Each structure stands twice: as structure tokens, then as C-alpha cells.
Amino acid sequence: MSTDARRRVAALRAEIARHDYRYYVLDDPQIPDAEYDRLMAELKALESAHPELITPDSPTQRVAGAPSAAFGEVVHAVPMLSLENGFTDEDVVAFDRRARERLGVTEPLWYWAEPKLDGLAMTAIFRDGSFVQAATRGDGVRGEDVTANLRAIRAFPLRLRGNAPRLLEVRGEVFMPIEGFERINREALARGEKTFVNPRNAAAGSLRQLDPAVTASRPLRVYCYGLGALEGWVPPPLQSEVLGALKAWGLPICPHAERVHGVAGCIDYYRAMAERRARLTYQIDGVVFKVERLEYQSRLGFIARAPRWALARKFPAEEALTRVEAIEWQVGRTGAVTPVARLTPKFVGGVTVSNVTLHNFDEVRRKDVRVGDTVVIRRAGDVIPELVRVLPERRPQGALPVQRPERCPVCGSEVLKPEGEAVARCTGGFSCAAQRQEAIRHFASRLAMDIEGLGEKLVAQLVEGGAVRSPADLYTLSVEQLQTLERMGKKSAENLRRAIERSKHTTLPRLLYALGIREVGEATALALARHFGELEPLIEAACSHPERVEEVADVGPVVAAHLHAFFSAPAHRELIGALRASGVTWEPFAPSTAELPLKGQTFVLTGTLPSMTREQAQAALGALGAKVSGSVSRKTRYVIAGADPGSKLEKAKALGIPVLDEAGLRQLLAAHPRR
């Protein structure tokens, strides 16, 4: 092997790295692109002549390996937090006051002020100066492994310059500059492909690619703004100095960040950036203030999922004018009849808005929206667009107030708006095509009648084909009929038929839950079954003595009203009759006289459990007599905490209340088998 080649390869890599650094970090390129391309071509040629000289951190190796089938999971050594938002100067003043009070500091604090970049958060690990791993934020605790994709971003270094620590985890934002975003959208249009709605989606879509070659072809940039895990380095005292060190190691830092003095400095910075925003080459949705001194940061600590030492001051949502072309009524899967305004399409807040929900009829009346009106619409970041107000002076003559439909636009059943409720609903239930499919899917679901194999797609086919109009029809289906469904062989049809048959023997709580009565979830169904023991007394009470229904724990007037409405409807009484006639049976639920093992104990659930829904946990605890409450107090027996717990967990810790995870909960449940 020639030493000349080895030397030249090393020299080329060093030179390319230097130009990358000048371009992406210092924003001060020294050579024209063509010259850079020439260096790269020479390096590639040398490496293909001497493959033994190829190393993973060579700039030619950014896209290495084949596309993967799925992203791996990365558990963040230090959780990735979010930021508290502020929307006014007063919010900034209050944030600064709280911070100084906690610290016991009277003089103004220094802050590190930087743009709030509109991309997606990433974390990247360097070991002994070499890039080894990158992940997305995910839920803050676990993210997706996007190592191969970050490698593919030329704007991010594969090796740090100078004396790098043993372990350095940096955090920052991956984003797509506006010019690049517009270019890839132009190119996509020319190819007749779909475009991205905004630079943030483009960045997210480009980073979360299973094929790193695609990521490499997208104009992504990264700005680093913080640290994760560290070994072999004690950070300097100030945030600005930390970023200075990152920059010296060759990591790209936002050039528009600066040190500001006190709350006045923060407010001036916000104003200046708001004014500058339209001229920036990248999209931002606000600015972030971080207490400069790291020692103060650690003294301030965190609340819930955000640090007390940082505040995101968001820009106000963007507004625009457009015209209402029509107001239509949509029937949701649960029967809610919702007004939707169709608009002359308008680009606002980074997307084209062509319709907005008006939520409910009261809202239409309150805002007095009419067809033909000129209206102000608003959209901020990820938020759903909204109709802010009507400009009455621009109303065309003869525009009439909107009327609420009396009949469902889908099935023609009566539309009712219960007293005190904002939402109007179609009363068609199973007989309304908009609701039927969802109602039957729910009926068959695991926690309801548990018809194994009868998933959403099959239900859709059965309902659309007209074979099933009500849940009772499921019990009349023959193997031959089932076999006519898509991708349904004889064997699967027989299995499904058996599953349907098996579901006939059920329990009262499951049946009640399966009926899909509004507000009657698994836990309420269980409480009702336990209280009434059989269906008839419940129907009797629901229809004639609602106050008796309210005696059930956790049942208030709203649930009682829904039970009343449900069981008073002839169609629903017929349904129950039809279910019985097709052989559906349920055991009476013997109200237990024995003391339930967890009676009198209050539990609080917070966060997401890995494999149980909140309803399931609540139902399981309820079955043992425990009460599940929404807030932690000294009386709380246990707090069950999953991923992303809220402030309840902090409170539990502060009060010294025992905390269980899902495994702990399961152990506790197993210790008291349900009778």
C-alpha cells in the first residue's frame, strides 16, 4: 500500500472537514462548491483504489449500509425535556421573578437567548470525539435510533475537532432551511409527488427515513443547544460558554443566539427576533430564554417535564382573511353532529387551510358565522386552525343565520341537543351509517364482547356490504357468508364463526360496556353491574328512577342521563331483545357481600403504563373495591406511575406516598384474585 495514498487521504479528509466546519459552523465558506466537490471526488477515487483506507468517519461514508426495516429504540440516559411556554411579556416577567425568588437573587439575571427552532429535537453521542449514536426525542424517555440518518447529514460532524471529552452527548434541533424546503417541494411537484406542508414536517419526514440515502439527499441542518450525558468533561459555568465549547469542537450552533441582561434584555431580544423573523433563512416559532449560570440551572431544577430555568416565548399565531364558501354538518363515529366551515383555501401559519371545524352549533351562533362571510382564521405551529371572528362589515347582503339540522344528514334520524350540552347528536345509533361501523367495532372489541379476529377492516366490510346492520346481526352470520369477505379462507371463516359463537356467553359488565352507551366505559359498566346485579333492574332504574342510578359510585347526572336516553330508545330495547333471541347470555353479577380487599383505599394513576390502558387499570382496581382518584393527597394509598408521569408523581414523592409501576400494580392485583 502506498504511504503517499495514505497521506493524501488523510490530508483530503482534514481539508474537507475544515471546509465543512467553515461552511456549517462558522458560516464563512472559503472555497466555491465546485472546488469542494473536486476534493470529495478525489477522496472517493483514492478510497476505491485503496479500500483498506476507508474508515467509518470518512466523509465519503455518510451513507453506509442498506435501508433498515424499522428504527431501534434508544433509552435516553438523561431525559429529553420540553419547555414551558409563555405568550406575553408578563409571562416573561413572571418567569424571571419566579427564578430570582427561588434563587434568592435580587439583581437582574443574565440569560442566554436563542431562537426556538421549528424542527425536531435530536440527541447525538460522541465517544472520544467520534459520532456513535443519535436518537429522536420520542416521548422524552425513549426515542428512535436515527444514527444512520444523522450520519447522512453533511451539516453534522462525524468527528469533533480538538480535544473532545470521553463522552459527549449533545442535543439540538434538526431543521430544514426555508430555501431547501421550497426547493424539494418544487422538485416533488415536478415529479408529480406529494409536497411537505411546512419545513418542520419536511425535516421530520426526512430524518425519520428508513433509507439514510433519502435523508442524505435532503437539505437538513442541525443547531445544537444543550447537553445530555457527559464523561471526562466538567462544563464551564455559563450556558454561553458551553455553546462556545461545542462550537470549538465543530458542532453547529445557531448564529442568532446571544447573552441578554435581565428581563428587559429578554423582551428586547424577543422584539428584535420577531422583527427579524421574516428575513431568517430558517423557520422559528418563538425564542427561548435560558438562565446563563449552570449552577443556577441545577438549583432551579424541573417541574413536571420542563426546566424552571428556561422559557419559550412563542410568537403569536399567524392570522389571515378568507371567505366561508359553505357550512356543512359532519356526523362523527359517535353521532356528534359538527358544523364545518368550507373556506377559500388560504396559506396561513405554514399550511394551506381549506376548512375549519366550528365545534358545535352554539359556537356558530356565538361567532355568527354565515355562508359568504369574510372571516379571520388563525393557525399557530402544530395547532389546529381556527376561525377567530367574522368581519360583519364585509357580509354580503341576504346572508342568513345558519340553522341547526333537525335531521341527521347521514341517516335522517332526529338530531337532539340535550339541555346543557354543547354537542348535537344523531339519535340513530346503530341505525346510522356514520355510527354503525364504530358501534359494531366497539361491540366486538377485546374489552367488550371480545370477538377475536373481528377487527376494524372486517367490520367495515360487513357493514358496507349490508350484511350487518346491528350487533345482533353478527350472530346470524354463516361460515359461507363470512367466506365471501376479502382474504377470508374457509379456515379463518370457521374460526371467526367460532369466536362469534364463543362471545355469546359473556358477563353483564362486558355487555354493558359493549352497548356503547355514552360515558359508560369499562369501569362504569363494572360499577353498574355490581350495583344492579342484572340488566332489568338497571333498565328499570335508568328509565324511571334516574336518582337510583346516581347512587352508584362514580355515576353522576350526566351518565344517568345517557343511560336514560339509551334505554328509553325503542331501537335499543329491540337490540337487547334481538341479542337475547340470538342466544347471547350473561351471568347475573352477584353483588358481593364480602368486603372487597382494597375497599376504602384510594389509588391515583399518572402517565402511560406500558401494556395497560388507564381504563383497564381503573377497572381492575375497581373490581377489588379500590377507588381511583384524580389527585394525590395524604389519603392516597398508592400512586401508579407510567411513562411521562405528571406533577402527581412529584406530589406523591413529596408526600411520601408509595409509587408502583405496572409490574408493581400487577403484583398487587395478583395478590387479590378477583372473585
156 vs 225 by CB, closer to ligand IVH:
225
47 vs 173 by CB, closer to ligand IVH:
173
199 vs 339 by CB, closer to ligand IVH:
199
171 vs 627 by CB, closer to ligand IVH:
171
- Binding pattern to ligand IVH, positions 205-234, x when CB under 6 A? --------------------xx--------
Q: Shortest approach of ligand IVH to residue 59 CB, angstroms?
A: 27
Residue 551 contacts residue 524 (beta carbons within 8 Å)? no
Q: Binding segment for ligand IVH among 26-34, 67-75, 114-122, 541-549 (CB under 6 A)?
A: 114-122
Q: Shortest approach of ligand IVH to residue 73 CB, angstroms?
A: 18
180 vs 226 by CB, closer to ligand IVH:
226
Q: Which of 46, 92, 121, 153 binds ligand IVH (CB under 6 A)?
A: 121
Q: Which residue has the cell 383497564?
A: 616
Residue 355 is a binding residue for ligand IVH (CB under 6 A): no
C-alpha 213/C-alpha 148 separation (Å) is 9
Total binding residues toward ligand IVH, as defined by CB under 6 A: 15
15 vs 241 by CB, closer to ligand IVH:
241
Taking CA 532 as the corner, what is the angle to CA 530 and CA 536, rounded to the nearest 5 degrees?
135
Does 627 participate in catalysis according to the annotation? no
Taking CA 454 as the corner, what is the angle to CA 452 and CA 455, rounded to the nearest 5 degrees?
115
C-alpha 224/C-alpha 482 separation (Å) is 57
Q: Which of 180, 307, 339, 516 binds ligand IVH (CB under 6 A)?
A: 307
212 vs 228 by CB, closer to ligand IVH:
228
Q: Shortest approach of ligand IVH to residue 618 CB, angstroms?
A: 30
Q: Which of 109, 117, 125, 203 binds ligand IVH (CB under 6 A)?
A: 117
Tell me whether strands 336-348 and 318-331 are parallel, antiparallel or unpaired: antiparallel
Q: Binding segment for ligand IVH among 11-19, 78-86, 377-385, 493-501 (CB under 6 A)?
A: 78-86
Q: Which of 13, 116, 530, 531 binds ligand IVH (CB under 6 A)?
A: 116
Helix, strand, coil shares of the chain, percent, nearest 5, are 40, 25, 35
Q: Which of 266, 312, 555, 626 binds ligand IVH (CB under 6 A)?
A: 312
Nearest Cα to Cα of residue 404 among 428, 389, 423: 423
Q: How many CA atoms lie within 13 A of 198 on its CB side?
A: 19
Q: How many CA atoms lie within 13 A of 391 on its CB side?
A: 13
121 vs 555 by CB, closer to ligand IVH:
121
21 vs 112 by CB, closer to ligand IVH:
112
Residue 82 is a binding residue for ligand IVH (CB under 6 A): yes
Residue 134 is a binding residue for ligand IVH (CB under 6 A): no
Q: Shortest approach of ligand IVH to residue 283 CB, angstroms?
A: 11
Please give the sequence-ordered ranges of beta strands (E in DSSP) within 449-579, or none if there are none.
505-507
173 vs 522 by CB, closer to ligand IVH:
173
Nearest Cα to Cα of residue 203 among 118, 278, 322: 118
CA 114 to chain centre: 25
138 vs 409 by CB, closer to ligand IVH:
138
Q: Which residue has the cell 424499522?
A: 70
Residue 642 is a binding residue for ligand IVH (CB under 6 A): no
Q: Helix or strand or coil: residue 73? A: strand
Residue 66 contacts residue 60 (beta carbons within 8 Å)? no
Q: Shortest approach of ligand IVH to residue 272 CB, angstroms?
A: 16
Q: Which residue has the cell 337475547?
A: 580
| Beta-carbon contacts of residue 426 (< 8 Å; ≥ 6 apart) | 331, 335, 337, 408, 410, 411, 413, 414, 415, 432, 434, 435
254 vs 523 by CB, closer to ligand IVH:
254
C-alpha 452/C-alpha 441 separation (Å) is 11
Residue 207 contacts residue 149 (beta carbons within 8 Å)? yes
Q: Shortest approach of ligand IVH to residue 222 CB, angstroms?
A: 11
Residue 173 is a binding residue for ligand IVH (CB under 6 A): yes
**Cβ-closest position to ligand IVH:** 121
Nearest Cα to Cα of residue 21 among 257, 279, 246: 246
Q: Which residues in 15-54 contact ligand IVH (CB under 6 A)?
A: none
Q: Which residues in 393-432 contact ligand IVH (CB under 6 A)?
A: none
Helices (H), 142-208: 147-151, 178-190, 199-207
Residue 114 is a binding residue for ligand IVH (CB under 6 A): yes
Residue 310 is a binding residue for ligand IVH (CB under 6 A): yes
DSSP one-letter code for 630: S
- Beta carbons within 10 angstroms of residue 164's beta carbon: 20
The amino acid that residue 319 corresponds to is E
Q: Shortest approach of ligand IVH to residue 643 CB, angstroms?
A: 16
Name the phi and psi angles at 46, rounded to 5: -65, -40
CA 60 to chain centre: 36
Q: Which of 16, 53, 81, 451 binds ligand IVH (CB under 6 A)?
A: 81
Nearest Cα to Cα of residue 627 among 607, 649, 600: 600
C-alpha 353/C-alpha 587 separation (Å) is 53
Number of helices (H), then strands (E), belonging to the chain: the values are 25, 26
Residue 176 is a binding residue for ligand IVH (CB under 6 A): no
Q: Which three cell numbers stand for residue 596?
A: 372487597
Q: Which of 44, 116, 367, 491 is catalytic?
A: 116
Length of the chain: 675
C-alpha 331/C-alpha 409 separation (Å) is 8
DSSP one-letter code for 672: S
Residue 308 is a binding residue for ligand IVH (CB under 6 A): no
Residue 519 contacts residue 562 (beta carbons within 8 Å)? yes
- Binding pattern to ligand IVH, positions 137-166, x when CB under 6 A? x-----------------------------
The H or E element that residue 42 is part of is helix 33-49
Sites of contact with ligand IVH (CB under 6 A): 81-83, 114, 116-117, 121, 137, 173, 225-226, 288, 307, 310, 312
| Enzyme catalytic residues | 116
